[in-house]
Structure 1
Amino acid sequence: MKRILVSVSTIVALFLPVLASADTWKIDPDHSNVGFKVRHLMVSNVKGSFEKHAGTVVIDDRDIAKSRVEVTIDTASINTNVRKRDDHLRSPDFLDVAKYPSMTFVSRKVVRVGGDRLQVTGDLTLHGITREVVLDVEGLTGESRDPMGNIRRGASASTRINRKDYGLTWNKALETGGVAVGEEIAISLEIELIKAK
């Protein structure tokens, strides 16, 4: 019996460092930004953001492939600083927030591509449609303690999607050629994380 107990305790001791290397983090919405930009009238970019979002990130520094991300974004919280435009973006012409109140991202694969750069592949569900996207992540920081004793980390991420892939097809032809709203949307994320207690 003693041998079995010693063996079990030895195995647990060996695996404890591995188990301890994966930490759970919560996205701090007050210090994070979910932004986007899209071409307007073929001449300039309009920028906006989603003000309400929440998410959990599990980071395994020993084996980054075991890390994972889950994020939910409130589509009605879209803000381009123009009320009329935001109301149109919330309407059935675009996000249809009454029918689709949130969008989600759930990772399926995390790989390190050099230094502090990662690629996070996952499923983005928007407007009732799920497509694979790849987030290019850079600047994953080490841990830092804030004045309140919370442990924090941060990172930036970006990707591009075609809105038509998600059924967001509304547009208006221009007399000079082209369309009112571009199809490609550039997404940029500035994320600050707080270690879960």
Structure 2
Amino acid sequence: MLDPENSSAQFSCKHVFTNVRGMFHKPSGTLTLDEGNLANTRANATIDVSTITTGVEERDAHLKSPDFFDVAKFPGITFASTSVSKSGATSYAMMGNLTMHGITKPVTLAVTLSPPFNHAGGIRRAVEATGAVNRKDFGLRWEFPGEGAGVVVGDNIEISIDAELVLQPEPSKGS
């Protein structure tokens, strides 16, 4: 299970000539990892869009508005894995469906897992996942009036997820 207190999802987007970075706090989710048979591996994650922060209140309010995420209508972003392949000793390519702003599209995330470690009385693993999406593929089409497409707000959004996973005991198999 993902530890929301020690996890976050970040993004980066061009704003004219600079990169604007933002974060969503306390994502939730689960990862079932079967390293012996990756076909059994599953990941699901949810982000509360209302937690978005870029460090600028006016921009955050605009991002929550109907011009962008429309938080009142689409309060969450979800990811559900569909397949996983090993790409290195501790790295994987995870394919899945990302749903944002009411639109679902396939995405691939590059995932790196730490070895298990003992902490606070439990077994934990760190996971990093990165990828990119085009915001317009998800209906986030707002442009600064009079500036042209992609001039003020870039279309390509870099995504980075840093999460701490807490191993959950398997439920007992019967009585």
Q: Deviations over 1:31-63 (max 9, x none)?
A: 11200000001x100000101310011011211
Report the equivalent of 2:74. 100
Equivalent of 2:97 in 116, 123, 127 = 123
Equivalent of 2:6 in 9, 12, 31 = 31
Aligned CA-pair RMSD: 1.6
**Take 1:28 and 1:106, find their aligned partners in 2: how far apart are those partners?**
18
Q: Which runs of 4+ in 1 moved over 4 A?
A: 173-178
Q: Deviations over 1:154-192 (max 9, x none)?
A: 121100000000000001156699621000000011111
Query: Taking structure 2 as the reference length, what is the TM-score of the superposition?
Result: 0.92
Identity of aligned residues (%): 43
Equivalent of 1:149 in 110, 121, 143 = 121
Q: Deviations over 1:44-95 (max 9, x none)?
A: 0000010131001101121123111000110111010111100000000000
Distance 1:180 1:63, change over 3 A: same
Code of the residue aligned with 1:60 in structure 2: it is D
Report the equivalent of 2:138. 166
Distance 1:109 1:180, change over 3 A: same
**Take 2:63 and 2:149, find their aligned partners in 1: how far apart are those partners?**
23
Report the equivalent of 2:28. 54
Equivalent of 1:80 in 54, 61, 78 = 54
Q: Which ranges in structure 1 are unaligned for 5 or more consecutive residues?
A: 1-25
Distance 1:90 1:158, change over 3 A: same
**Take 2:73 and 2:104, find their aligned partners in 1: how far apart are those partners?**
15
Between Structure 1 and Structure 2, whose CA radius of gyration is higher? 1
Distance 1:174 1:151, change over 3 A: same
Give 1 or 2: higher helix fraction. 1
